[in-house]
Amino acid sequence: MKNVLITGAGSPGGPGIIKSIHEKYTVHGADADPKATGKGLCSVFHSIPKATNSDFIPALLAIVETHHIDVLIPLVTKELELFSSHMLAFEKLNCTVVVNALTNLQICNNKNKLLQKIEAAGLEIPQYMAVKDADGLVKASEELNYPEKTICVKPSESNGMRGFRVINNSINRADLFWNEKPNNMHCTMEELRHILGTEFREILVMEYLPGKEYTVDCIAHRGKAKLILPRERLRMINGISTRGKFVKHDGIINYCKRIIELFDLHGPIGVQLKEDAHGIPKMLEINPRLQGTTVAAEGLGINIPDICIQQALGTEPQLNRDELDWGKEFGRYYTEIFWD
């Protein structure tokens, strides 16, 4: 059995990905949390430094060399550029890291650069402005017709909904208090300016897209789309899909094909889009890695993590895309794991 190393074993999608491949491969899990949830699901678990630690890459190289790891799949966005920068060091140990080229990652992980390149290619994007100070925030919000229209903001560099806020001064605080579980997604312009007054980094001020939201699981081979599976996000908790439905949306499929070609992407790619008030899907972000909810595709008979490993090992996976059960829904739930 081939040895596969999964970093981010305790990430929201880590346990599901480990379970999807553990019967076919010897799965090594790694995480900075010594009690990560994926610890009890993999064959071998490794406690590793955080990506911000200078010992991160040396620690991973030591694991790869000692345990003869064939394929390494990072699930943590902050690790991607590090792995890409040191790809040759892993290749010398006969290990393939499932990661894109550094230049592409630097664009995909910066939402401002990402939207600029997509817009230049003639693809639909939300109306937005990148701002670096309070004056820019006020100007951008006025140009987007705030407060008549709801807007949203997000940092140029972030992931997992960190820093995302919906700005709406007419929001009913009492209704949120009595009827909604606590979250930090909604705020007023005054609250936002107070928050950013202490530490202002580049943020995007964007039109708010009120329509359906989609996450698309893609497999690319050197700029060519091999698999594109759009799924509508029907329910989310803290930005993580807990219920969804696979949909054959030709517009989204063609959009993602263009994205893959534009960035010459390779391997597993996640694309997130949301419809505007007219039902037009527009780009939110690209996750140039294996997404946690990709395991939902097993309901269609497609094991995306296994396909990624086969691709990394040089095998061309056979995909039957003509008989997919479009419209199939899925749900996710919490479960428990125990260890001594």
Chain segment 167-210, per-residue pLDDT in tens: 987 888 788 888 887 777 888 888 888 888 878 899 999 999 99
pLDDT reported for residue 151: 96
pTM of the model: 0.93
Sketch out the chain's domains with CATH numbers.
3-99 (3.40.50.20), 127-207 (3.30.1490.20), 210-331 (3.30.470.20)
pLDDT reported for residue 320: 66
pLDDT reported for residue 191: 85
Q: Long-range contacts made by residues 304-307, C-beta under 8 angstroms, separation at least 24? A: 304/217, 304/219, 304/227, 304/268, 305/17, 305/20, 305/21, 305/73, 306/20, 306/21, 306/24, 307/219, 307/227
* Cβ 203 vs Cβ 141: under 8 Å: no
Question: Are β-strands 128-131 and 203-207 bridged in parallel, bridged antiparallel, or unpaired?
Answer: antiparallel
The residue type found at 24 is K
pLDDT reported for residue 175: 85
d(CA 187, CA 177): 13
Q: Average pLDDT of each block of 10 consecutive residues along the chain (340 residues)?
A: 97 95 97 94 97 97 98 96 98 98 94 96 96 93 94 89 86 83 81 84 95 97 95 89 95 97 96 96 95 94 95 83 87 86
d(CA 280, CA 311): 33
Q: Kindly give, in sequence order, each residue whose CB lies less than 8 Å from that of residue 156, ignoring residues fewer than 6 positions away.
A: 110, 111, 112, 113, 130, 201, 202, 203, 204
d(CA 94, CA 246): 37
* Cβ 80 vs Cβ 106: under 8 Å: no
d(CA 326, CA 210): 24
Chain segment 45-78, per-residue pLDDT in tens: 999 999 999 999 999 999 999 999 999 999 999 9
